[in-house]
Amino acid sequence: MDIGTIVAGILTLCILSFLYRDNPIYKMAETLLIGVSIGYTLVIVWSTTLVDILFEPLFSESKLALIIPFVLGLLMFSRFHRRTASLSKIPIAVLIGSGAGVAIPVMLEARTLKQMSATVMPLISGSGWPDISALVVMVGVVCTLTYFYFSREHKGVLGKSARLGTYFLMIFFGTTFGFTVMSRMSTFIGRMEFLLTDFLRIIK
């Protein structure tokens, strides 16, 4: 058995010890995971973003325009001193402003218009019979949207529509729950398979 499997097996058991109760072994594994994850992200961001997009072009290819984001990035560190903290609002403003500007058309297109166009489908099939699935989708979208409409009291037709919307929402939550449980369960089975086959070698 190689050392990597032994380390991975011991650490897996340390994390699983939480099923008994919160204990020092689990806490140690948890803080190690946090530290290693941050370190990994740091290295990946440093090499793929800061080196590839900033330092290489700026210092090797002399793309001087990159001094602007470099200085803006360095301004983020001004947060650590009370006197200079307000300077960090400048790079944050660039991030927030450009993000908001990009989000408007993207959200309108991907989240709203595409979803609407996918909902508005022919309700009568080629054979002349109503397309039940298309009808369910259209009624479901309209009723669920009325549930989220808070400008008028949910009474009368609006109230009934909103109530029907909650049933659709419950179906959505139920299916999402089912898929989440199954995905977590398959991850757990994977970990158990590793423990019993590769680490403990109980199953051959």
Partner 1 sequence: MDRKLALGICFIFGVIMFAQYFSQHPMARAVNQAVLEYWQIIFAFTLLVGVASFMKSSFRKMRKPSDRPYQILGLLGLISMPVLALVWGIKAGTPFMWMFENVQAPMQATVFSLLAFFVASASFRGFRARSLQAAILLGAASIILLSRSSLGGIVSDYLPPVAEWIRNNPSMAARRAILIGIGLGSLTTSLRVILGIERTWLGGSQR
Contacts to partner 1 from residues 160-179, by CB under 8 A: 165-179
Q: Do 137 and 116 meet the contact criterion of CB atoms below 8 Å apart?
A: no
**For partner 1, which residue of 1, 23, 56, 103 counts as binding (CB under 8 A)?**
103
3-class DSSP state of 159: helix
4 binds partner 1 per the rule CB under 8 A: yes
Q: Do 191 and 1 meet the contact criterion of CB atoms below 8 Å apart?
A: no
Compare residues 43 and 203 and give the one whose CB is closer to partner 1.
43
In whole angstroms, how close is the CB of 18 to partner 1 at the nearest point?
A: 6
Compare residues 10 and 203 and give the one whose CB is closer to partner 1.
10
For the record, the structure tokens of 26 come out as 């689990």
For the record, the structure tokens of 76 come out as 């983020």
Among the residue ranges 96-104, 121-129, 151-159, the one whose residues contact partner 1 (CB under 8 A): 96-104
Contacts to partner 1 from residues 31-90, by CB under 8 A: 31-47, 49-50, 53-54, 65-66, 68-70, 72-74, 76-77, 79-80, 86-87, 89-90
Q: For residues 142 and 156, give the distance between their C-alpha atoms in angstroms, rounded to a whole number.
A: 16
25 binds partner 1 per the rule CB under 8 A: no
123 binds partner 1 per the rule CB under 8 A: no
Which of 177, 186, 144, 176 minimizes the C-alpha distance to 162?
Answer: 144
196 binds partner 1 per the rule CB under 8 A: no
Q: For residues 153 and 169, give the distance between their C-alpha atoms in angstroms, rounded to a whole number.
A: 19
Q: For residues 148 and 168, give the distance between their C-alpha atoms in angstroms, rounded to a whole number.
A: 13
In whole angstroms, how close is the CB of 140 to partner 1 at the nearest point?
A: 2
In whole angstroms, how close is the CB of 23 to partner 1 at the nearest point?
A: 12
Q: Do 9 and 196 meet the contact criterion of CB atoms below 8 Å apart?
A: no
**For partner 1, which residue of 81, 152, 191, 201 counts as binding (CB under 8 A)?**
191
Residue 154: phi and psi, rounded to 5, are -75, 80
108 binds partner 1 per the rule CB under 8 A: yes
Indicate if the alpha-carbon torsion angle 17, 18, 22, 26 is positive or negative.
Answer: positive
111 binds partner 1 per the rule CB under 8 A: yes
Q: What angle do CA 143, 144, 147 make, to 5 degrees?
A: 90
Compare residues 27 and 203 and give the one whose CB is closer to partner 1.
27
**For partner 1, which residue of 56, 81, 97, 123 counts as binding (CB under 8 A)?**
97
